[in-house]
């Protein structure tokens, strides 16, 4: 049984649905969530994960009750340091499927994936509707939260 909060040093103790607070410059919070762990053989398999930004913003830190039924708005492959440098700790775990949270479809080369899972071959018209499978630096999730919720870029 896991005890929250905890500060992960690798992805070994992470589980899909783990969430953390993203402190924003105005004192409010957004919420990051672990969507999937990388498949075996993936580069950075011990320190990376597919994470996302939930459509949630509040003056208080996220809790399971507060983020229930929130939707995913962006996702990217992240390093464990993204959690350590933004929210510091995993605060809890939200059952993804029960809350309608699932990885987004994206373009990865010549295939369409849902998170890490291949779905079908890429087609030219996918470029108009799907984002690319992306890799995020440590502070990209916080920068994306600033863009979505504060309408501004993160200022260092």
pLDDT in tens, 55-72: 999 999 999 999 999 999
Specify the pLDDT at position 124: 94
Q: Which residues of the chain have pLDDT under 70?
A: 154-156
Q: What is the b/e burial string over 112-144, where b = at least 16 CB atoms within 10 angstroms of the residue's CB?
A: bbebbeeeeebeeeeeeebeebeebeebbbbbb
Provide the total of helices (H) and of strands (E) in the chain, helices listed first. Answer: 3, 8
Residue 152: per-residue pLDDT: 79
pLDDT of residue 156: 56
What pLDDT is recorded for position 22? 96
pTM of the model: 0.93
E-strand ranges in 10-155 read 18-23, 29-36, 48-58, 72-79, 92-93, 105-108, 111-114, 117-121
The total of other beta-carbon atoms located within 10 Å of residue 29's CB is: 21
Would you state the structure tokens that stand for residue 151, as one six-digit string? 């309408």
pLDDT at 155: 62
CA distance linking residue 19 with residue 32, whole number of Å: 6
In this structure, the chain runs to a length of 156
53-80: burial string, b at 16+ Cβ within 10 Å, e else: bbebbeeebbeeeebeebebbbbbbbbb
Which residue bears the tokens 């390093």? 79
């Amino acid at each position: 049984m896991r005890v929250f909060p905890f500060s992960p040093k690798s992805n070994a103790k992470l589980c899909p649905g783990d969430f953390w607070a993203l402190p924003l410059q105005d004192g409010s919070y957004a919420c990051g969530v672990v969507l999937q762990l990388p498949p075996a053989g993936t580069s950075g398999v011990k320190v990376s994960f597919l994470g996302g930004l939930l459509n949630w913003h509040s003056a208080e830190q996220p809790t399971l009750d507060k983020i229930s039924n929130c939707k995913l708005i962006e996702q990217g492959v992240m390093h464990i340091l993204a959690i350590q440098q933004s929210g510091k700790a995993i605060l809890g775990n939200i059952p993804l499927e029960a809350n309608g949270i699932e990885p987004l479809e994206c373009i990865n080369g010549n295939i369409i994936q849902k998170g890490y899972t291949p779905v079908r071959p890429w087609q030219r018209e996918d470029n108009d509707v799907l984002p690319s499978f992306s890799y995020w630096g440590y502070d990209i999730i916080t920068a994306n939260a600033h863009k979505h919720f504060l309408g501004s870029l993160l200022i260092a």
